Chains A and B, each alone.
Chain A
């Protein structure tokens, strides 16, 4: 008790501007300029100088401690902002960690003098500052401080404190400038922050200081690992969490770059899907691929090929197996190619093969040949029954012509595969292949099913000519995609949709505005269908407008690392992806098959 009373003797009302001294701390208010200017802001700093070994605390003190507080007593008309905190140090205390300041710190506040402030008399602002200063012992202290400056129409920098305050300001974290992009993903045991610095910036070390207690464990090691063209920082959750960990909100510190203030919602980890569910979805997606406009015409012809061959003999099992082998081998090849390219650091996702104009051109040529064949204008047998190579290759062909299409469920399963990598991804691609090969393989295996097929007749050539039509349409569409990819960059912009950028998402989210992002590509059939059938509709656009939802379109027709990173952060590897950002909530990824009802449910839910 006596100890406390003794300390109180050191608290004095400061004579205007004179620093207050306690045994551990010297405190005063200092200004960056030498006069008040009516209507203009000026930075006033609370200067705390601690004796060696003692520290005061940041806005998040860490495991213990208390942030410094300023209670302003301002003359009428003056306003004061929040404390702008320079980047703190990490101060370990045994097994615990505090965030604070040793030596000297300038805690900045912007004060604005009223525009009707009369020149002539000097004006005094006062503040009661509270802080906790600790070494091994801790002492809460407070001081009444004041600052008096003359009033004038213009002011120059303060001779003594102008420069130090400018230096302190350089250490206040800023929002990430252009070129940086981030994503946050939930992990087992916490979250991880994906960091993509601008070209030429390499991070050797980095750590993250959260603004709030009870989310991230202050003393835990945050490992930084390279990932593709960027990095991933592990953020272990607090051992005793307080509230849900839904946002990564705080300061990213690295000796190789400026201190960055970031605030991102954490996307649910798609790998939470679990392998079993991912496999089931992949299988279903594979089955549905057979119904997609890319695949159905050609597959129908193959199936009818059975009918044409008559009920010759029992099981065509070998043909079915060879076809399946072709399908599976193609998927494995694509998976391996994707994995190899990503391991090499490329920002790729599913559909990567279509981002190359050369691949698109070749595909268009292939479809043209197929269409001509079906029209009877160009003869070659699509599947030569009984020739093993033919059956295998027709399986490969099926996968090649399926590549522009993404079936429902495929997106989710592929997102899982791309994120998980390794043997799990391999299994997902296998399930996809198995699903896709199943209908034809079943027909090949069960003669009974083949009997259900319509008997051959004159209608067959006519049907083939009709089925050529969607293939011609595909050729025209692929030609259009090719034109988009090699033509000038400016595509016709729909006035309602703004081009996507990570910076726009961040600033809109920070402003508390809901937004909807349409991740699309010219070569993605599902995307084009959804856009025409749902997203371009007047009533849907009105739904968005009436709810004040900003609309962004991320066009992935050509390779774009920023979009690829954004997709990865959302747990997706390909398009389409439809994401709804609502203030205060984690991003909601909508299903690939969009309907107005689903959109409305998400918007209002």
Chain B
């Protein structure tokens, strides 16, 4: 009986989350800034980067103010990597941004994602167990998650130091595109809590 209780406790924890490195990235549909639906499977055959963001979070601001995130988006956009920025802030939160507000902020920052998704009921966030902003995921052309975790290894860096940190996303994409296994496939992400 106790074994059953234990097993149930584990099962409950496990079924709540599905996105782990090495398994297929969960499929989702979310609306972009123009309201058009975007599916993960639309981009099968290409590398996809999912970037959880929230303009109100100081960690996100640091990565944009330093130019770090926009530079990554441009660098890999040029290599045909599909960069999807996701804001899972729930529409009931006072940090929620409408598509217009997001568009304005992104253009101010010089950001260049392929699409930005407004996940206003936080469904995609929960599907991916996104915990922080930023929280990064990399999906390979076959649809498998090859990286999940932090953007880099320096959570306390100053704006100037940000570009010098070891960037896990750049490393994962570089290794995977060269046909090598991803050496650091999972890290603990840092940042503000996603506002579910």
Q: For the complex, is B132 an interface residue (Cβ under 8 Å from A)?
A: yes
Contact indicator A214/B20 (Cβ below 8 Å): no
Q: Which of B12, B148, B156, B189 contacts A130 (CB 8 A)?
A: B156
The one of B7, B14, B131, B186 in contact with A96, judged by C-beta atoms closer than 8 angstroms, is B131
Bound: A388/B131 CA distance, A: 71
Interface size range of chain A in the complex: 35 or more
Hey, which chain B residues are within 8 Å of A217, CB to CB?
A: 13
Residues of B within 8 A of A69 (CB): 156
Bound CA–CA A226/B6 (angstroms): 12
B193 contacts the other chain (CB 8 A): yes
Query: A64–B193 contact, CB under 8 A?
Result: yes
- Identity of the chain A residue whose Cβ is nearest the Cβ of B190 in the assembled complex: A66
Contacting pair A64 B20 (CB below 8 A):
no
Q: Which of these binds chain A: B32-40, B43-51, B56-64, B76-84?
A: B56-64
CA distance A388 to B7 in the complex (A): 46
Is the pair B20, A225 in contact by a Cβ cutoff of 8 Å? no
A65–B193 touching, CB < 8 Å: yes
Interchain CB contact under 8 A, A64 and B61: no
A236 adjacent to B2 (CB under 8 Å):
no
Q: How many whole Å from B59's CB to the nearest CB in chain A?
A: 8
Cross-chain contact of A242 among B12, B187, B196 (Cβ < 8 A):
B187
Say yes or no: B196 contacts A94, CB within 8 Å: yes
Chain A residues in 8 Å Cβ range of B187: 214, 242
A158 to chain B, nearest CB (A): 31
> Measured between alpha carbons, how far is A134 from B132 in the docked complex, in Å?
13
- Given A192-B6, A240-B21, A241-B20, check contact A66 B155 (CB 8 Å): yes
A188 touches B13 (CB 8 A): no
Shortest distance between the CB of B132 and any CB in chain A (Å): 4
* CB–CB B65/A1 < 8 A: yes
Do residues A214 and B188 form an inter-chain contact, with CB atoms below 8 A? yes
- Could you say which of A98, A214, A223 contacts B186, with CB atoms under 8 Å apart? A214
A189 touches B148 (CB 8 A): no
Q: Does chain A have a CB within 8 A of B29?
A: no
CB within 8 Å of B: which of A80-102? 93-96, 98
Contacts of A98 in B (CB 8 A): 193
Instruction: Please determine whether A243 and B192 come into contact, CB atoms closer than 8 angstroms.
Output: no
Whether A66 touches B156, Cβ cut-off 8 Å, given contacts A94-B193, A234-B10, is yes
* With A66-B155, A189-B14, A242-B186 as contacts: A223 and B126 at CB distance below 8 Å: no
* Residues of the A chain whose Cβ atoms lie less than 8 Å from the Cβ of B178: none
List CB contacts (< 8 Å) of A186-242 with chain B.
187-190, 192, 213-214, 217, 220-223, 225-227, 232, 234, 236-237, 239-242
| B132/A239 in contact, CB under 8 A | no
Say how far A136's CB is from chain B's closest CB, in angstroms.
7
A to B CB contacts below 8 Å, 12 in the list: A64-B131, A64-B193, A94-B196, A96-B131, A137-B192, A139-B58, A221-B13, A223-B5, A232-B6, A236-B10, A240-B20, A240-B129
A-B CB proximity, top 8 nearest? A189-B10, A239-B17, A94-B196, A236-B13, A213-B188, A220-B13, A138-B192, A64-B193
* Additional pairs, 10, CB under 8 Å, beyond known A64-B132, A227-B2: A4-B61, A95-B126, A138-B57, A223-B9, A225-B2, A225-B6, A234-B5, A237-B10, A240-B20, A242-B188
